[in-house]
């Protein structure tokens, strides 16, 4: 009886260890950035944060056109992007309270925001204080239409399975910096989508 009990206990412990080691790590599900919970649905977010369908204007415009032409309602574009407002400030005022989230399978897997370029160094320092030294830093330069050459840097922090990338200055607006916070699931999703697009483009040659 003692032997059977020991074997039973050993099997239970062994099973638990296998679950712990083999189960996929869901770190993104407990990662919160500026109040937004990554790996969770919109319904699971803090009620003080507002989410608005980024494609709402597109759908509303089509509805109006269909109504005016007397056509049947158009198929509504399914959105995976939502504009966010009511976010918690990260550092002193002036870093903005708006951003955007992207969903995969109904759950937020990415948060992005812009910030004023003049705040880039302070913003980077705050991220370093919270998440430690960046995993990598790369430098780049860009030239304006007037011929001025401006410097910029890109820093990456890796927090478990979440990647934080901060660009101190973006090419589409030299007054702005850009930040993305992406889970491993989002990165894999984007890679798969890029592969599909490449295959589609090759098929059109």
- Domains of the chain, by residue range, sit at 27-49+86-203, 53-79
pLDDT of 58 higher than 90: no
Give mean pLDDT, residues 140-165: 89
Nearest to 109 by CA among 35, 194, 186, 179: 186
Residue with more model confidence, 96 or 171: 171
pLDDT of 14 higher than 50: no
User: Is the C-alpha dihedral spanning 26, 29, 34, 36 positive or negative?
Assistant: positive
pLDDT at 194: 87
Using CA atoms, how far apart are residues 155 and 145, in angstroms rounded to an integer?
A: 26
- CB 50 within 8 Å of CB 86: yes
**Residue 105 φ then ψ, to 5°:** 55, 40
Using CA atoms, how far apart are residues 113 and 166, in angstroms rounded to an integer?
A: 10
**Residue 104 φ then ψ, to 5°:** -130, 125
pLDDT of 95 higher than 90: no
Question: How many CB atoms within 10 Å of residue 185?
Answer: 19
pLDDT band at 21 (very low <50, low <70, confident <90, very high): very low
Q: Any idea which residue has 């399975």 for tokens? A: 161
Q: Using alpha carbons only, what angle is made at residue 198 by residues 197 and 202, rounded to the nearest 5 degrees? A: 115
pLDDT at 141: 84
Residue with more model confidence, 149 or 153: 153
**Residue 94 φ then ψ, to 5°:** 110, -5
pLDDT of 168 higher than 60: yes
Candidate from 11-20, 54-63, 160-169 with smallest mean pLDDT: 11-20
Residue with more model confidence, 99 or 20: 99
Residue with more model confidence, 64 or 170: 170
Give mean pLDDT, residues 130-149: 88
- The model's pLDDT over 112-138, given as tens digits with 9 standing for 90+, comes to 988 888 888 988 999 999 999 999 999
pLDDT at 25: 42
């Amino acid at each position: 009886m003692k032997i059977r009990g020991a074997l039973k206990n050993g099997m239970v412990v062994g099973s638990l260890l296998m679950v712990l080691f083999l189960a996929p790590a869901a770190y993104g599900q407990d990662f919160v950035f500026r109040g937004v919970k990554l790996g969770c649905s919109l319904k699971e977010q803090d009620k003080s944060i507002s989410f608005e369908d980024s494609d709402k204007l597109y759908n509303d415009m089509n509805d109006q056109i269909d109504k005016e032409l007397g056509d049947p309602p158009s198929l509504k574009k399914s959105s995976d992007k939502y504009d966010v407002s009511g976010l918690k400030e990260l550092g002193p005022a002036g870093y903005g309270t708006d951003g955007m989230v992207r969903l995969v399978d109904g759950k937020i897997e990415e948060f992005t925001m812009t910030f004023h370029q003049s705040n880039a160094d302070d913003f980077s320092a705050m991220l370093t204080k919270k998440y430690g030294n960046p995993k990598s830093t790369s430098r780049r330069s860009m030239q304006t239409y007037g011929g001025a050459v401006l410097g910029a840097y890109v820093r990456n922090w890796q927090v478990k399975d979440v990647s934080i990338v901060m660009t101190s200055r973006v090419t589409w607006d030299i007054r702005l910096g850009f930040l993305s916070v992406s889970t491993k699931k989002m990165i894999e999703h984007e890679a798969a989508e890029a592969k599909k697009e490449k295959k589609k483009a090759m098929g059109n040659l």
